[in-house]
Every structure is written in C-alpha cells, then in structure tokens.
Chain A
Amino acid sequence: MHQTRDQILTSLSIVGLFVFLCWAKENATEYQVRLLNNCAIFITLAVSYNLINGICGQFSLEPNAFVAIGAYTSALLTMSPAEKQASFIIEPLIWPLNMISVPFWFSLIAAGLVTGFFAFLMGFPVFRVRGDYLAIVTLGFGEVVRVVANNLQSITNGPLGLKGLVPHTNLWWSFGLMMIALCFIWRLTNSSFGRAMKAIREDEVAAEAMGIRSFRYKMMAFTVSGFFEGIAGGLLAHLITTISPVLFTFFLTFNLLIIIVVGGLGSITGSVISSVLFVFGSEALRAVEEPFSLGSLQIPGIPGMRMVIFAIILVGVMIFARRGIMGRREFSWQGLIDLFQRAGGRLRRDG
C-alpha cells in the first residue's frame, strides 16, 4: 500500500525533474545551466564517494585521483587528432592515442572502466591497512596520480593540460548518468551486498566471523565507487573543456569530504541534498572573495576565502551535529509526510 504510493511519488518526482530539465534547457541562462550540470556531477561524485566512506566505512581520500583518471581518459579519447597535435607542443602524444577519436558515450564508458580497473588494482595494496593508515595511503595515491599527470608529458601534456575539448556535457548527459549512478548505488546499498558492506563498517571482526569476505566487499565498494567517479570525471572534463593537473588537487577530495560528512556519512539522500547545498552555496559565497568594506575597514578580495568558510562549517557540523543533515537515515516519503503533519499540528496548536 505504502510501497505503491512511494513508487508513484518517486516516479512523479523523476518526471518532475525531467520537465524541469526540458524547461531549463530552453529558458535558463548559460550560467544557470552550468550550475545545474555541476550539481549533477557533484551528486554523482558524492554518492560514489559515500559508498566506500559511509556505507562500507573505509575512510579513504582518493577521489581526486579517480576523477583525474576518468577526466584524462575520456578527454584523450574524444579529442580530434588535429587538436591533439596542436596541443602537445613539447612532446607528441604517444601512439595510438594520437590517432583515435571516439564518440562521447564511448569515452565515458571507457573512463568508467579504466578508473574502475585502477581502483581494483589499487585496492590490493591499500586494503592491507585500516583506519587512519588507509586514509594516509589513499591520500598518497591521490597525490601520486596528480604528480604523474604533471610529468607524463607524452600522455597528459603535463602542466599544460588538455585544451579545446568539445563541450559534449549537457543536462541530459549529466542528469542521466546521475540517475543511473544513484539507482545503481541505491540498489546495491539496499541489497544483501550492501548489508555486508554495512556489517564491515559496523564491526569487521564480527562480519568476518559471520562468513563475510571483508576484503572482497571492500574491493567491490571501491571499484564501483571508482567506476562512477571516473564517469563523472569524463563529464567534468567535457563540461569545463580544459583540464590540467591543478584541477585535481586534494581540494577536490576535501570538497567531496565536506559534502558527504555534512550530508551524513552512509546516507545517499543526505549526499544528494548536501551536494546541491554545496554547489549553490559556493556560488552564493562568491561575494566573500570580492573586495568589500566593513565600516571604514577596506577588505581586499581574498581568493580561497570560501574554503575557509566551508572548513568552519565542517568544524561546526563536527561539534554540533556529528552525524550531519541526515545521519545514516534516508529520505522517505513517509518521513516527509510525517514532517508536514507534525508542522501542521504545531500550527493548529499555536493558532
């Protein structure tokens, strides 16, 4: 009974999103479309990152590496040979990458697969350690990928980066893939496999004692997370059309970490809500990086001021609401209805 109602409501909201996107495509400004695309990409990233950090409980700090691998893979596959020849001025691109140019969809799948494969390989060494050590090892891996991208001139074009990508990413691509990632990870989390991952998060020794192969499920979470982060990287590359190693510093990971902690570690809907807040919030906070005057005090524009504010928000969340917006709960229609009923009841009592 409730199940049918929830299914109808969910379908209706997906249709609503679809209608909204159709409308936005015609009427929204370029800036607004860009923000919406950013939203979808960050949701994909945050939800994938939450799978390994929040659901499986393995605190790791590598998404910047995965996004970078995905972005470079996809960009190198879509660029035309002429464009490549023009970009790689210091050292030419190695064969066969300099010859090929594939359709966008194919490059995204390749980005996902290559990144997933990297995640799989990386899982063997990193899951030999746990806890803080895991965080440090994965953080190191992220740095390694960035440094390699900086120096592997004949593949990544080094610090010059890749320029002149065709802006393939539009609302349909970003939101379509976001829906696929959400649906996949939601179903995985709410299956027996997701339960096994949660069991590892709760108590790895007990999970092992109940027959759960903990290494296998950590690898599974990590690889799936890498797969979708790679695809999101491909989308990001074709949204901003220019990629270089500075895009994929630890700041990217840090932003995603803020998103999933504020949203609630282990809550998929929490990550979605908090990604949206993050993308629009960082636009709203753009003002603090511009010069302004406080009374007689002239404050010059300080780039990076927004990061300070986000860091303060993170500290605030850690002190006052340790479990974030959603904790480990998920959004449910029943919960929303109850919320409205409570609010309505309060209004009636007060009135």
Chain B
Amino acid sequence: MTLFSAEHLTMIFGGLTAVDDFSIELKGEDLVGLIGPNGAGKTTVFNMMTGNFKPTRGKIFFQREETTGLKPNAINRRGIARTFQSIRLFQDLPVIENVMISYHGRLHSSFIGAVLRTPLYHREEKAMTDEAMTLLQRVRLADFASERAGALSYGQQRRLEIARALATHPKLLLLDEPAAGMNPQETQELMDLILKIKEDFNLTVLLIEHDMRVVMGICQRIKVLDYGATIAEGTPKEIQSNPQVITAYLGEAGGKGIA
C-alpha cells in the first residue's frame, strides 16, 4: 500500500530551479535512499515534504490525503518526522526534555490543567518522562538525560535527533545525512540502529546520505538527483553501474565506480 507519494514536485527560487519534476512513491516498510552531489536539491525535497517549503508545482499525498501546503507542525502530527542536516537540537535544554517536547503535540491536558497540575496532567507528564527515557535508552543516551543537549558529542547529538523524531510517533521518517561527521565505528552503529528502529517502530524511511557505505549497505532502492532532476532510480547494484550517476559524481571521464 502506498504510504506517501509526491507527484511532479518543482521548486523554483527566483530564477533557480532547485528541484525539477520530482516524483516518488513510498510503500510501508520501504527504506529508500536519496543521493546526489552537493546542491542537487535533496534537502529541498525534504523541506517540501515536511512543509517548510511550499512547492511551486506538484502535489504531495500522505496516507491518501493531500498535504501540499500544510504547516510543518500539521504534517508532523500526521506522521512524518525528520532530522536535520545541520543539527537543530534545543541546545540549552536537557537531553530528556528535547525528547519530551515531541510528545507535546499529543497532550490532552489544557494549559489551565497544566498550571493547576490536575491528576490527568500528572499522569501525562509521567507517561511522557517514562517514554522519553525508554527512547533515550534505545539510542544509548539514558546516562546523559539531564545534560544540556548542546554538551553532547557530535555523534550523540545525531542520535538524539533521531530519538526526538521517533518520539513524535511517525510512520515515515526522513533522515537528512544521519552519518555526517561520524567515524566508521559510529557509522556502523548508526546503520544497525536505523535497521532496528525501522523494524521495531514499523517505519518507512527515506534518507539522504553522502556516505556510500550507508546508502549501499541498507537502502532497498535509491534515487539519484543532479541539478534538481532525477537522473536514476534503482537498486544499489543498478545505481553503482549506472553511467549517468558515475558522470554526475565524477565528471565525464568517470572512474571505475562510486562505492
């Protein structure tokens, strides 16, 4: 069953066509990679999917409902969560609160209830704390729960971003360069983590990544963008031997492969 589809998305900034006629269809349980050289328009695709940009042309559907033009918070509450290429944590807040904020959208208490500390609010706050703690354990950050998020190491911050996105209970998870700045050891752990959370939370995952070991290692399908246009699509094997992809990455006299 189709979970998500984007049809003929085009994004034009002034005279620059950042993304041109991009279409994608994601089914439940998919793990798709989106690759391409710098400036190819990958993050712009994410921004359109999550409502940060309104596409110049084209339509977006999530669970058969059109979501084009909705606000980011509305799209998130429908079940699409994302991480950011440049880490955007709530730096000055404790690690656990970073995760708890993601539950706020599902809170039933009113703000008067929160101020009066009604039993319902107490229960919800407790449930929030417990669930956030469980998630932190999954990404091995439970020991840092009360540290400032900004004080974590780079790899830890990336994992916290994933935990924070998971806390919104998404059906579709968009990861924007989750392995950027990680060492090989951390990258390996990240790949395992992505596969595990996908399994445990029944997620569909779309990820942008430059690290080819990650992309080739875990993605079932790959889409390649170059200058806003989709130039190839297929399994990792097909992509690796696609002459157009090799040209895009290495120039005309392309080398032996991109992996």
Binary contact track A161-203/B, C-beta < 8 Å → 1, others 0 = 0000000000000000000000010011001110110110011
CB contact between A211 and one of B77, B90, B91 (< 8 Å): that residue: B77
Q: Which residues of B contact A213 (CB under 8 A)?
A: 71, 73, 105
Please tell me if A208 contacts chain B, counting CB pairs below 8 Å: yes
- B interface residue count range (under 10 / 10 to 19 / 20 to 34 / 35 or more): 35 or more
Please tell me if B92 contacts chain A, counting CB pairs below 8 Å: yes
- Taking a contact as CB atoms under 8 Å apart, the answer to whether A206 and B117 are in contact is no
Given A192-B104, A192-B128, A214-B73, decide whether A206 and B111 contact each other with a Cβ distance below 8 A: no
> B97-155: which residues lie under 8 A (CB-CB) from chain A?
97, 100-107, 109, 111, 114-117, 121, 124-125, 128
- Taking a contact as CB atoms under 8 Å apart, the answer to whether B76 and A195 are in contact is no
CB contact between B124 and one of A192, A203, A208, A214 (< 8 Å): that residue: A192
Q: Which residues of B contact A328 (CB under 8 A)?
A: 92
Q: Which residues of A contact B82 (CB under 8 A)?
A: 209
Q: Which residues of B contact A210 (CB under 8 A)?
A: 76, 81, 101-102, 104-105, 164-165, 167-168
Q: Which residues of A contact B100 (CB under 8 A)?
A: 192, 195
> B152-170: which residues lie under 8 A (CB-CB) from chain A?
164-165, 167-168
Please tell me if A135 contacts chain B, counting CB pairs below 8 Å: no
Given A195-B93, A195-B101, decide whether A209 and B76 contact each other with a Cβ distance below 8 A: yes
- Taking a contact as CB atoms under 8 Å apart, the answer to whether A220 and B111 are in contact is yes
Q: Which residues of B contact A184 (CB under 8 A)?
A: 115
Bound Cα distance from A209 to B52, whole angstroms: 9
Q: From residue B211, how far is it (CB to closest CB) to chain A in Å?
A: 23
Please tell me if A288 contacts chain B, counting CB pairs below 8 Å: no
Q: Which residues of B contact A205 (CB under 8 A)?
A: 52, 72, 88
Bound Cα distance from A122 to B93, whole angstroms: 29
Bound Cα distance from A208 to B47, whole angstroms: 12
Bound Cα distance from A209 to B125, whole angstroms: 21
A side interface size, CB within 8 A = 24
CB contact between A188 and one of B52, B81, B89, B115 (< 8 Å): that residue: B115
- Interface-centre pick from B81, B88, B116, B165 (highest chain A CB count, 10 A): B88
Q: Which residues of A contact B77 (CB under 8 A)?
A: 211
Q: From residue B92, how far is it (CB to closest CB) to chain A in Å?
A: 6
CB contact between B93 and one of A187, A188, A198, A212 (< 8 Å): that residue: A198
Q: Which residues of B contact A246 (CB under 8 A)?
A: none
Q: From residue B82, how far is it (CB to closest CB) to chain A in Å?
A: 6
- Taking a contact as CB atoms under 8 Å apart, the answer to whether B93 and A199 are in contact is yes
Please tell me if B204 contacts chain A, counting CB pairs below 8 Å: no
The residue on B at minimum CB distance from A198 is B93
Please tell me if A33 contacts chain B, counting CB pairs below 8 Å: no
- Taking a contact as CB atoms under 8 Å apart, the answer to whether B89 and A206 are in contact is yes
Binary contact track A315-338/B, C-beta < 8 Å → 1, others 0 = 000000000000010000000000
Q: From residue A170, how far is it (CB to closest CB) to chain B in Å?
A: 27
Q: Which residues of A contact B76 (CB under 8 A)?
A: 208-211
Q: Which residues of A contact B109 (CB under 8 A)?
A: 192
CB<8 Å pairs between A and B, sample of 15: A187-B116, A188-B114, A188-B115, A191-B121, A192-B124, A202-B90, A203-B88, A203-B89, A206-B88, A208-B73, A209-B72, A210-B167, A211-B76, A211-B168, A220-B111
Leading 8 A-B pairs by shortest Cβ distance: A211-B105, A202-B90, A191-B114, A206-B88, A211-B76, A208-B72, A199-B101, A210-B102
